[in-house]
Amino acid sequence: TASGSTLLEVAGLCRSFDGVFAVREVDLAVAPGELRAVIGPNGAGKSTLFGLIGGQLRADAGTVVYDGDRIDRLPAHRRARTGIAVVFQGARVFAGMTVLENVMVGAHADTRAGFFSAVTRLGRHRADERAIAPTARECLARTGLSDWADRPAEALPLGQQRVVQVARALCGNPRLLLLDEPASGLRAAEREALVNLIAELRAEGLTMLLVEHDVAFVTRLADRVTVLDLGRVIAEGTPAEIRADEKVVAAYLGT
Ligand code: ADP
Ligand code: MG
């Protein structure tokens, strides 16, 4: 890549809401193939940071460089086209659609019409549908969902609905996947399955940013951890370094 050892480079990124900083002068450099965890208390700015990278939000200041190109002025669908996919916090599967149809939406996520019109387009363009179904089935196989392909997505247990979200994101063939609290609300066995899936994606070389509250979950998965507090990066390092960092313990771990 043009950017050498950095796939994503965020510099001086700022975003405020109603005069209050949600993200404040954030710098972040992520290497290709890295799994970077982003942790911090509620309201620290984690989801806002993801929105600024994915393009759902515009930065007030700062830059986002992806694969050597500035993308911070691009709309979300153009960023998706360059290979950035986001699984949003609290995202739901589309009710009234099968698992396969839910995943097929992901193949349209990078089109000009964008994600939401992609939902309404499904079913109207049968030729499109035939073209993307094999890709979608591949994503289902990759995530262990093949047996569920024709079930209504909302009938699946929550853990598998989360996997459907991941499968949908993969269907756009991303090079950078942002996962915002994918394990929240899941039972232990479901979390375990998700950890295994994320570990497999990492082994395949996919670059990921992962927001997660459970420090044990993060420690098992992440190469490096970035800690946000009140919109600022207060620490960055390996999981072991982060667990030993007094600032982190004070701000976040609370122990
Ligand atoms: P986190 O994901 O770390 O919990 P968020 O990025 O969601 O934090 O929020 C960071 C701060 O920005 C919070 O104070 C939140 O209330 C505020 N915020 C986030 N999104 C909006 C918005 N759309 N409008 C107003 N304030 C927002
Ligand atoms: Mg959040």
Please give the chain's pLDDT, 255 residues, in tens. 455 689 999 999 999 999 999 999 999 999 999 999 999 999 999 999 999 999 999 999 999 999 999 999 999 999 999 999 999 998 889 999 999 999 998 776 554 444 555 555 555 556 566 778 888 999 999 999 999 999 999 999 999 999 999 999 999 899 999 999 999 999 999 999 999 999 999 999 999 999 988 777 887 899 999 999 999 999 999 999 998 888 888 876 554
**Ligand that lies nearest to the alpha carbon of residue 51, given by its number in the listed order:** 1
Angstrom distance (rounded) from CA 7 to CA 63: 14
Claim to verify: residue 79 and residue 203 sit in the same structural domain: yes
Claim to verify: residue 47 and residue 112 sit in the same structural domain: no
- Total domains in the chain come to 2
Domain boundary among 158, 173, 188: 173
Domain that holds residue 98: 93-173
Q: Is residue 88 part of a domain?
A: no
Claim to verify: residue 75 and residue 185 sit in the same structural domain: yes
From the CA of 41, give the closest atom in ligand 1.
3
**Ligand that lies nearest to the alpha carbon of residue 182, given by its number in the listed order:** 2
Burial string for 70-101 (b: 16+ CB within 10 Å, else e) reads ebbebebbebbebbbbbbbeebebbeebbbbb
| Environment of ion ligand 2 (residues, CB < 5 A) | 46-47, 89
**Ligand that lies nearest to the alpha carbon of residue 22, given by its number in the listed order:** 1
Q: What CATH number has the domain bearing residue 247?
A: 3.40.50.300
Taking the centre of ligand 2 as the mean of its atom positions, its distance from the CA of residue 90, in whole angstroms, is 9
Domain boundary among 173, 208, 239: 173
- CA-nearest residue for atom 26, ligand 1, is 17
Residues 6+ apart with CB under 8 A from 70: 63, 64
| Residue linked to tokens 């009938």 | 155
Claim to verify: residue 200 and residue 255 sit in the same structural domain: yes
Angstrom distance (rounded) from CA 192 to CA 234: 29
Check the CA dihedral 150-151-153-159 and report its sign: negative
Q: Best of 47, 209, 212 to mutate for ligand 1, by most ligand atoms within 8 A of CB?
A: 47
Residue 12, SS3 per DSSP: strand
